[in-house]
Amino acid sequence: MKDISTSEDDSNLLVMVIDTNPFEWEHPSAPLKLNEALQHILAFMNAHLAGRHDNKLAVIASHVGVSKFLYPTPNEPIPGGKVPTKKDANAYQSFKVVNEAVLEGIERLLRDPKPTLEENDLGSSKIAASLSLGLCYINQILKLDALGHVKPRMLVLTVSPDSSSDYIPIMNCIFSAQKANIPIDVCKIWGEDAVFLQQAAHITEGIYMRPNDPRGLLQVLMFSFLPDMFARNYLYLPGQDQVDFRAACFCHKKIVDIGFVCSVCLSIFCSFSPVCSTCRTKFAFQPLLNPARRLGAKAGASNPGSPRPSTPTTPLQ
Amino acid sequence: MWEAGETVAAQGVTVYRKRPGFLYFTNRRLAWVPEGGLAPTVSVKHDEIKVQYVSQEGATSTTLRVAEFKPDVKHTFQFTSSSAIQEREAIKDLISHIIHDRLLRASAGGASSANGTPGPSGGSGASPGASSVMSDASAPGTPKAPLQARMGGLGPAGLRRGVNGAGSVDVEMQTRRALLAQNRELSLLHTELVVGKHISENEFWETRKSLLRNKAAIDQQQKGQSSAWLDLKPQTGESNDVKYVMTPQVIHSVCQQYPSIKRAYDQFVPDKLSEAEFWKRYFQSRFFHRSRSGRGANEPDDEIFDKALEEDEEETKSAPKRIKLDHINRLVDLSTTEEDHLESYLTPDGTMNAGKTKESKEAMPLIRRFNRYAQRVLNSTIGPKRPFTGPESLDMSGVERAIVMEDLQEQKESSKIVLNIQDTRRYFESQGGDMKSSKIPDGVDPEDILKHFYRDYTSHEVVLNKPFVIPENTFDMLMRNVKSNRAKLLPPKDGSQLLPPHLYQEALSCHAAGNEILRHFWASTSMDKAAKHLRMIESLKKIRDENVKSLMIQASSLGTDCLDSMKMMLKPMLNSIQKALKHADSRPKPPVRKLA
């Protein structure tokens, strides 16, 4: 019930970000081909458009090294002569327009410019760029909508793992979305949990899903992500509400409950070192006691009255 | 025979109900023990003492009568030893302190009740600030009774400090009692733990020092003087008589408002006039009635107050002395730039000159009166304005400081340490736990993958009217997910709904007691507190084996639901107790090894 102002008559703007990272889709272990997934995704898009006559849709492809609008295509004339490709008397026109725009857009993306393969960021998807595009688009639509009837939301369909260089841009997008009250739904179609996006969904009060079987994608999409903002007030929706915010130490990538934090750059370490390996700050003191040992000594550490470790470097709780 | 922490402040040999015995005044109560007896047969808590009476000096017997708040409970003690008077005086003084202190507390809220005025002999000057002295004469009142507060001097604040200084132990006791009386939960816990003999009174309070400190600070907060303009209104009693109530507060205000009255008071009371006579004449005087309508000049002449009236009018008529202009801050002294304005064609602005018009002339005395009063109230609170010390104001440094603009000063580079992160990737990677970017199989050219991907994509057309094959378990997974989310969103039932209220209360207090003892347990792990530690272990065992068990039995008699919720409620505490006891077992018993 967070947003009272939603109503049945709202038109819904859904901005979808589709991860088209070829290195993931084409990976030998991928359980689904892009073509197969697109069948599900297009069906879902059509369902969204069918939900209300004034529902709006935008589709953005998050490719390797580039991020592009698939629908609606801004300022790009439809390549000449191809206006109605296949006459299909049974197709609903607006579905058809969207479907073709998406399919062609992806085709162009795969064919045309070779994605610039950066040395240290090889094969990571441009999720942050896509989120920014989506937020800008939403902003534009909301500005045009004088009545305030458009209720935006975003849905990210991703297969790529988090890219560490994207951390700050993604976080910026998340906080912008949070401020603008735009929920970011996330579906990690397969693979490990996407930590950044998990946080995105959590912070913006969106839904995060990681289906156990990607072949049931359509059902997951329809079940979890189709209900609009108004309906969400009345539904119990799937999604995980527990996000792992625990920090991992920089030295061993181990999740730590109590560790040492560099007072300059806030790097986390599981053991004390006189020089911070991240920012080269030198610490001219010895910690009083190893927090881990202290913790172990007291089995009932959570009990009242047990002392807390106090070390020069701030213990991380 | 005494409670823990009780100390005897004074005692005397007395006869009570024709039995010889000893009267003790302790920091908690007044107790009388018969000769040869062990326990006090009379015990009056401090808070229960309503009033004391003492026999006149020089009377045949030296007695002290104490009345409790309970109606008709009075105790009369006759002092029989050779130093009877001294003994009685000692106890009397202590009791009047207590009554007094209580009244101060009561009157702090403004409502002073008169029931505690010490007896005929006037309990050692105990009443300023507390007793309202009622004058019962007809027409302009005659205050009687002792008014020992000298004007402007001893306020309630000064007196209170004296009381607090009397004995810090005593004060702390009172603070504790007041805290318990205010805080029901605390008092329940106190009953459970201290009365239940788990921990001692002092241990209980040791962990709550901040509460005591806080309470003491609140109690010691001085209430400032009321700044309201005093409006003496008579109370009209039966048969049309008029009554003025003079409290020290009122007297203080009168003196504050009219310095001429204060001067007269200082001059005549108590040498030439009694206090009561003075105020009686005040209420009859022209001074008092001049501002009241309808009385005109009917009042008899009164040399004291006529003189005061004259002085007062003189004071308000004359304009205040002009402020000396020597010490004006140079930055706001307009006269220093006067010569720059000689050429202007403006006439000086006279509108703000007070007393120029007829109306304002009439209002001036009143305005001056208010202003003076305001000044006096302020002075009484913040102290008089510090007199200017000449040379300081001429010092240029203040001027310099004011005319130097910070923005025009050269900025000194502050020494900063540049944050130099070697590898930002590594920095942010940790946020995402263990992660890698997409793996590209070894020996495969990325270009090839892209080409292959494109071929793959174009060769297979996306067909929408092909049936979807959805695995069956997808729906189950979604439903499970939804159900668990729903369970989390529903408000959890807690013990207050599942258990009958009295059992719930008991469980709560058992839980609180357990946690308190756990806290003491962990606080006493050091070797110098070994004895307490052992005691805490015993208490923990007792809680586990007796209190919890009895709760469980009661709950189980009400059905399994009840038992389950009781178990759920007490489980965290039981776990903690288990851990604590395990810790105690694993500790080396004799304090030899770990000390080093």
Chain B: residue whose CA lies nearest to A37:
B462
Distance CA B80, CA B60 (A): 11
Cα B473 to chain centroid distance, Å, stands at 64
Q: What 8-state DSSP symbol labels residue A282?
A: B
Q: Quick one: A208 and A298 in the same domain?
A: no
Where is pLDDT greater, at B249 or B470?
B470
Of B438, B471, B477, which has the smallest distance from its Cβ to A21's Cβ? B438
Q: Quick one: A206 and A266 in the same domain?
A: no
Distance CA B304, CA B298 (A): 17
3-state SS assignment for residue A34: helix
Q: Quick one: A79 and A55 in the same domain?
A: yes
Where is pLDDT greater, at A171 or B399?
A171
Please, which residues 135-154 of chain A have a Cβ atom closer than 8 Å to chain B? none
Nearest in space to A189 (alpha carbons), one of A312, A70, A18: A18
CB pairs under 8 A between A and B: 207
The pLDDT of residue B352: 64
Pick the residue of B437, B439, B452, B536 with the most A CBs within 10 A to test the interface with A by mutation: B437
Q: Quick one: A316 and A181 in the same domain?
A: no
For chain A, what percent of residues have pLDDT higher than 90?
29
Q: Could you tell me which residues come within 8 angstroms of residue B515 by beta carbon, excluding any fewer than 6 positions away?
A: A304, B573, B576
For the cut 70, the answer to whether the pLDDT of residue A122 exceeds it is no
Task: Write the DSSP string, A80-136.
Answer: TT-SS-S--TTS-HHHHHHHHHHHHHHHHHHHSSPPP--STTTT-B-HHHHHHHHHH
Q: Quick one: A176 and A101 in the same domain?
A: yes
SS3 content of chain B, % helix, strand, coil (to 5): 55, 10, 40
The tokens 């189950």 sit on which residue?
B476
The pLDDT of residue B428: 66
Chain B: residue whose CA lies nearest to A126:
B437
User: Which of A190-204, A290-304, B433-447 has the weakest average pLDDT?
Assistant: A290-304
The pLDDT of residue B54: 80
8 Å CB contact of B470 and A305: no
Contact residues, chain B, for A208 at CB < 8 Å: none
- Measured from the Cβ of residue B559, the count of other Cβ atoms closer than 10 Å reads 9
Report, as an integer, the average pLDDT of B161-170: 52
The strand ranges marked E within A189-249 are 208-209
Model ipTM value = 0.75
Mean per-residue pLDDT over chain B, rounded? 72
A278 and B CB contact within 8 Å: yes
Interval A166-178: pLDDT, tens: 788 888 999 999 9
8 Å CB contact of A21 and B475: no
Where is pLDDT greater, at A21 or B71?
A21
Q: Which two tokens stand for residue A79?
A: 């390549």
Q: Confirm if B141 and B234 have CB atoms less than 8 A apart.
A: yes
8 Å CB contact of A99 and B464: yes
Chain A: residue whose CA lies nearest to B428:
A164
8 Å CB contact of B481 and A239: yes
For the cut 50, the answer to whether the pLDDT of residue A301 exceeds it is no
Burial of B489 (0-12, 13-18, 19+ CB in 10 A): exposed
Report, as an integer, the average pLDDT of B341-356: 66
For the cut 70, the answer to whether the pLDDT of residue B66 exceeds it is yes
Q: Quick one: A222 and A259 in the same domain?
A: no
8 Å CB contact of B473 and A224: no
Contact residues, chain B, for A304 at CB < 8 Å: 515, 518-519, 522
Q: Tell me which long-range contacts A29-35 makes (C-beta under 8 A, separation of at least 24).
A: A30/A159, A30/A190, A31/A190, A31/A213, A31/A214, A31/A215, A32/A189, A32/A190, A32/A214, A32/A215, A32/A217, A33/B456, A33/B460, A34/A106, A34/B453, A34/B456, A34/B457, A35/B456, A35/B457, A35/B460, A35/B461, A35/B462
The pLDDT of residue B156: 40
Where is pLDDT greater, at A218 or B187?
A218
The most confident of the ranges A45-49, A239-243, B185-189 is A45-49
If residue A217 lies in a helix (H) or strand (E), which one and from where to where? helix A217-220
Q: Quick one: A91 and A45 in the same domain?
A: yes
List the helix and strand counts (H, then E) for chain B.
22, 9
Last residue of a domain, one of A168, A199, A232: A232
Report, as an integer, the average pLDDT of B377-403: 64
Where is pLDDT greater, at A300 or B21?
B21
Report, as an integer, the average pLDDT of B379-385: 68
Please, which residues 50-89 of chain A have a Cβ atom closer than 8 Å to chain B? none
A244 and B CB contact within 8 Å: yes
The pLDDT of residue A114: 59
Mean per-residue pLDDT over chain A, rounded? 79
The pLDDT of residue B492: 67
Q: Confirm if B550 and B513 have CB atoms less than 8 A apart.
A: no
Give the pLDDT band of residue B93 (cuts 50, 70, 90).
confident
Chain A: residue whose CA lies nearest to B574:
A303
For chain B, the maximum distance between any two Cα atoms, rounded to a whole number of angstroms, is: 127
Q: Confirm if A249 and B496 have CB atoms less than 8 A apart.
A: no
For the cut 70, the answer to whether the pLDDT of residue A138 exceeds it is yes
Of A23, A267, A279, which has the smallest distance from its Cβ to B438's Cβ? A23
Interval B539-565: pLDDT, tens: 888 888 888 888 888 888 888 878 888
Give the pLDDT band of residue A190 (cuts 50, 70, 90).
confident
Q: Quick one: A176 and A299 in the same domain?
A: no
Amino acid identity, position B143:
P
Domain locations in chain B as residue ranges = 8-115, 139-324+361-380, 495-586
Looking at the domain B8-115, which fold is it? PH-domain like (2.30.29)
8 Å CB contact of B450 and A110: yes
8 Å CB contact of B470 and A218: yes
**Count of positions (residues) in chain A:** 317
For the cut 50, the answer to whether the pLDDT of residue B159 exceeds it is no
Q: Could you tell me which residues come within 8 angstroms of residue B547 by beta carbon, excluding any fewer than 6 positions away?
A: B510, B513, B514
Chain A: residue whose CA lies nearest to B463:
A39
8 Å CB contact of A279 and B481: no
For the cut 60, the answer to whether the pLDDT of residue B256 exceeds it is yes
Chain B: residue whose CA lies nearest to A41:
B464
Of A25, A28, A165, which has the smallest distance from its Cβ to B453's Cβ? A25
Give the pLDDT band of residue B436 (cuts 50, 70, 90).
low
Q: Could you tell me if residue A241 is inside a domain? A: no
Distance CA A153, CA A134 (A): 10
Give the pLDDT band of residue B143 (cuts 50, 70, 90).
very low
Q: Could you tell me if residue A47 is inside a domain? A: yes
The pLDDT of residue B490: 75
Distance CA B128, CA B251 (A): 11
Task: Write the DSSP string, B387-450.
Answer: PPPHHHHH-HHHHHHHH--GGGSPPPPP-------S-HHHHHHGGG-S--PPP--TT--HHHHH
Q: Confirm if A251 and A259 have CB atoms less than 8 A apart.
A: no
The pLDDT of residue A57: 93
The pLDDT of residue B583: 85
8 Å CB contact of B427 and A192: no
The pLDDT of residue A248: 77
Interval B564-595: pLDDT, tens: 888 888 888 889 888 888 888 887 655 444 44
The pLDDT of residue A300: 38
Nearest in space to B524 (alpha carbons), one of B536, B512, B541: B536
Q: Quick one: A224 and A262 in the same domain?
A: no
The pLDDT of residue B283: 79
> Can you give the residue range of the structural domain that contains A315?
246-317
Q: Could you tell me if residue A167 is inside a domain? A: yes
What is the domain count for chain A? 2
Of A160, A168, A240, which has the smallest distance from its Cβ to B438's Cβ? A160
Of B421, B441, B466, which has the smallest distance from its Cβ to A278's Cβ? B421
Contact residues, chain A, for B464 at CB < 8 Å: 39, 42-43, 46, 99
8 Å CB contact of A253 and B430: yes
Of B420, B441, B489, which has the smallest distance from its Cβ to A279's Cβ? B420
For chain A, what percent of residues have pLDDT higher than 70?
80
Task: Write the DSSP string, B121-166.
Answer: T-TTS--TTTPPBPP-SSSS----S---PPTTS--HHHHHHHHHTT
Contact residues, chain A, for B573 at CB < 8 Å: none
Q: Quick one: A140 and A28 in the same domain?
A: yes
Where is pLDDT greater, at A237 or B240?
A237
Q: Could you tell me if residue A215 is inside a domain? A: yes
For chain B, what percent of residues have pLDDT higher than 70?
69
Contact residues, chain A, for B482 at CB < 8 Å: 236-238
Cα B342 to chain centroid distance, Å, stands at 60
A103 and B CB contact within 8 Å: yes
The most confident of the ranges A179-188, B253-262, B286-295, B555-564 is A179-188
Q: Could you tell me if residue A4 is inside a domain? A: no
8 Å CB contact of B427 and A265: yes
Report, as an integer, the average pLDDT of A87-104: 82
Report, as an integer, the average pLDDT of A60-80: 76
**Shortest distance, CA A146 to any CA of chain B (angstroms):** 35
Q: Confirm if B507 and A246 have CB atoms less than 8 A apart.
A: no
Distances (CA, A) of B82 to A70, B31, B78, B421: 111, 21, 12, 90
3-state SS assignment for residue A150: strand
Q: Quick one: A251 and A224 in the same domain?
A: no
Nearest in space to A10 (alpha carbons), one of A142, A139, A129: A142
Interval B127-141: pLDDT, tens: 333 333 333 333 333
Pick the residue of A111, A159, A303, A316 with the most B CBs within 10 A to test the interface with B by mutation: A303
A119 and B CB contact within 8 Å: no
For the cut 50, the answer to whether the pLDDT of residue A296 exceeds it is no
Q: What 8-state DSSP symbol labels residue A302?
A: T
Last residue of a domain, one of A232, A266, A293: A232
Q: Confirm if B423 and A267 have CB atoms less than 8 A apart.
A: no
**Domain CATH number, residue A104:** 3.40.50.410
Amino acid identity, position A188:
K
Report, as an integer, the average pLDDT of B35-39: 77
The most confident of the ranges A147-156, B184-193, B432-441 is A147-156
Q: Could you tell me if residue A239 is inside a domain? A: no
Q: Quick one: A166 and A284 in the same domain?
A: no
8 Å CB contact of B422 and A280: yes
8 Å CB contact of A215 and B419: no
**Count of positions (residues) in chain B:** 596
Contact residues, chain A, for B458 at CB < 8 Å: 107, 111
User: Which of A229-243, B218-232, B450-464, B519-533 has the weakest average pLDDT?
Assistant: B218-232
Chain A: residue whose CA lies nearest to B458:
A107
8 Å CB contact of B485 and A218: no
A27 and B CB contact within 8 Å: yes
